[in-house]
Amino acid sequence: MGSTLNESEARDLIFSHAFSRDCAGRVGVELEWLVDVDGGGTGERSRAGLTESVSLLARRAGARLAGDSLVSLEPGGQLELSTRPAGSLSACVDRAASDLATLRALATAQGLVLRGAGLDDRPPRLRIAHPRYLALDQYYRQVGGQGRALLCSTASVQINVDAGDHSSGWRGRNRRWALVNVLGPVFMAMFANSPTNVRGRQVRSGRQVLRLATDPARSGPLPPSDDPRSLWAEHALGTRVVAVRSLEDGAWEVPCGRLTLRRWLRGGGPRPVQASDVRAHLKSLVTPVRACGHLELRMIDAQGGDDWVVPLAVVAVLLDDAQSSDAVWRLLGASAVASGRTGWRRAAETGLSDPALAMVARTVMHIALEGLPRLGVPSWALDAVERYADAYTLRGLSPADRRPAGSAAVA
């Protein structure tokens, strides 16, 4: 049994966990995929048998990925491929592409198809009965809204970059935090890929509209800050606890009422707080930019085919190429990008049909295209970014504009 924590000790733990490495330059990616039976259908094979098929695929892939990526299952049976942190964008791209090719081949051999889209149009179904997922499902039923759809019907490209150091330039922690949070709505609009009808009108990123509307204190954006560590600690302390794990049998129980971590630390919970409780709570925080030792960008919808490489490359060059970072920093200083909760929601709804967002997105893409050759990315990846820019960003479009609401692109 671990030792208990008081509020000051918990704050210190959160503070150190949020930005734990004073470095910049590493990058990783988590690719989530919706999974279908090849050929579609709604029978026993495509519904009841899908859970077993996806679980088998994850086990087989875990033993065969040369790039040492991890394969895991999300609550609705979505498949996630997570690379290890790489020392360069080029290395990250190579590992992800190699391991994804293996995963796709294994999926094909099992009669499965990986779909790259932000939102599944099928009814949400909790397929993976992990105790933590069951607790999350119960919690969201208490909160209301469409929590099960959030858990079971969404997929994203999550990009992980170093949080930075104490310097004031492109490597600096405060600047990197500010940059990704101000750029977040732009990225969301550029890569919107979940067109959905919401109350009679089409939104470009239904996934993000869903996320921002479901338990917004947990999933909503945080502002730029001169002290992001303290900002994150306050956010963690003030957010509701999803579930408390029993010290006897390990079962998860959703607490009654609005039990925040701070209230629990002050004696309002079922038992004293341990370090493992704080760590579990931190995993439940799903802001568009999450501070978890590094910065995890969670606002980008899953992409069709190999277009996952485009947001990965764009984010990495804007954060980790000094010239590109300086250029986009100057751009944001001269632009009026709305990064509050209203700005994030508008970006999810309108995509690049918003003229102001479209103008910033075009400039951001030009900066990225100019900087990527300096990072030595594989030629196919650079070609993919150029094709995407020409097909979408430079025309004021995102993938959602080329698909009917409620559909999903095949990977």
Residues 83 and 69 sit within 8 Å (Cβ to Cβ): yes
Q: Report the half-sphere exposure of 194 (CA within 13 A, side-chain side).
A: 32
pLDDT digits (tens, 9 = 90+) for 30-77: 999 999 998 754 444 455 578 888 888 888 887 778 899 999 999 999
Cα distance between residue 178 and residue 166, in whole Å: 14
Tell me the β-bridge partners of 410: 115
Strand partners, 4: 274
At residue 334, does pLDDT exceed 90?
Answer: no
**Residue in this structure with the two tokens 């932000």, named with its chain if needed:** 118
Q: Which domains does the chain have, with CATH numbers?
A: 7-397 (3.30.590.20)
pLDDT at 404: 75
Confidence class of residue 205 from pLDDT cuts 50, 70 and 90? Answer: very high
pLDDT in tens, 111-141: 999 999 999 999 999 998 889 899 999 999 8
Kindly report the backbone phi and psi dihedral angles of residue 133, in degrees, each rounded to the nearest multiple of 5, phi listed first: -65, -40
Could you read off the pLDDT of 319-332 as tens digits, one per residue?
999 999 999 999 98
Average pLDDT over residues 241-256: 91
Q: Where are the alpha helices (DSSP H) in 63-190?
A: 89-109, 131-143, 147-152, 173-190
* pLDDT, tens digit (0-9, with 9 covering 90-100), for 262-315: 999 999 999 999 999 999 999 999 999 999 999 999 999 999 999 999 999 999
pTM: 0.94
Beta strands 244-245 and 252-253 are antiparallel
pLDDT at 43: 41
Q: Closest by alpha carbon to 184, among 18, 369, 74, 319? A: 319
**By the 8 A CB rule, do 241 and 235 touch?**
no
CA distances from 231 to 38, 234, 293, 404 (A): 46, 5, 14, 39
